[in-house]
Amino acid sequence: MGNGRLTLIAAALPPVRGTLKADAPLAPLVWFKAGGAAQWLFEPKDAQDLSDFLARLDPDVPVMALGLGSNLIVRDGGVPGVVVRLGKPFARVEQVDATALRCGGGASGILVSSTARDAGIAGLEFLRSIPGTVGGFVRMNGGAYGRETCDILVEFDVVLRSGEQVTLSLDALDYTYRHSSLPQGAVVVSAIFRGVPGDPAAIQAEMDRIASAREESQPLRSKTGGSTFKNPAGHKAWALVDDAGCRGLQLGGAQVSEKHTNFLLNTGDATSADIEALGEEVRRRVKAKSGVELEWEIQRVGIKSPLEPLSQGKDT
C-alpha cells in the first residue's frame, strides 16, 4: 500500500497503549497463508484501550476484527483501515459459577472447552472442534457436531465502532445459520457461556471423539480455511460439491480437498485470488448440476488488488 495513504491516516490516528503496526502482513495470521497486508494492525492492551481508540478514530475508517484467521480469505490487495486482533490480554477463561465461564474474545475453542472440562462443565465440548476464537463464535454463531454458540451464550461484552462498551444478551444477535446482526466494526471482547454439570472424564471422552472425527474427515494438516460453503436447507454442501465433479479440482495453487470437498486448500503457492476464483467455479458447477446456489461461509475481506480504490473495501 502506498506510503502516502499510510501517512494521511497516521496523522489522524489516536494514541494507543497496545501495539499499532502499519502495512502489517496478514498472510502469516490466517490459515490459508495467503493475502495482502492490513493498512493498520491494532492489538489493544485491554478493552479500555480499544474503546478509547475507536472513540477517537475517524468514523469513516473501516474496522475489522481478526480472530485465528481460520474462516477467512484476505484478498491480495490487503485490508484498508484498521484490523483489530485480540491478543493474550483477551485470551483468559474464568469460571463464573458452577456451570458458567467468562471467556475473553481472543480465547480459542480448545482453551474454552478444556477449562470447562476441568470445571466439570459439560455442553461446551463442540468448541474443541472449531478453529476460532470466542469473538468469532459469537459473531458467526459458530457450531459443529449438532451444537451452536446460541445454545450456550448467555451474554457478551462488545466495543462498538463508536467506542461505546456495552453488554448484550443472546437475543440482541438475531442469530441465524452462521450469521448474526452484530454491527460492522464492533468487537466482541468477552462472553459468558453456560453448560451443565458433567463428569470431567466423560467430557474428555467426548472431546476425544470429536477430535478423532475431525482428524479422520477433514484436511487439518493443510493450509485451508475450514468449511467453505454453508449447508443449504436439506443438503450437505460437500455432497453437492462432490456430485458436481469438483473433488480435487485445481485452479492455480488452489485445490478442492480430496478428503473433504467443502474445504479449499492452498497447495503451496496459491494467491487469495486463486482460492476465491476456485470457490466461485465450484459454486458455478454446483448451480449447473443441482440448481442449488451455494453461499460462502468463509468470509472474504479486503480489496482484490492494490490498484482498486479503498472505497471498494469489504465484500462478504
Residues annotated as catalytic are 178, 227, 297
* Alpha carbon separation from 42 to 34, 106, 306 (Å, rounded): 20, 14, 21
Distance CA 119, CA 117 (A): 5
Kindly state the greatest CA–CA separation across the chain.
59
* Pair 55, 16: CB distance under 8 Å: no
Task: Please name the residues in contact with 63: beta carbons below 8 A apart, sequence gap of 6 or more.
Answer: 54, 57, 81, 82, 83, 84, 161, 184, 185, 187
Cell numbers for 227:
468449511
Task: Please name the residues in contact with 70: beta carbons below 8 A apart, sequence gap of 6 or more.
Answer: 30, 31, 131, 132, 225, 226
Distance CA 210, CA 123 (A): 13
Pairing mode of beta strands 196-197, 250-251: unpaired
Distance CA 210, CA 170 (A): 26
Task: Please name the residues in contact with 236: beta carbons below 8 A apart, sequence gap of 6 or more.
Answer: 262
* Alpha carbon separation from 279 to 26, 122, 250, 298 (Å, rounded): 21, 36, 10, 10
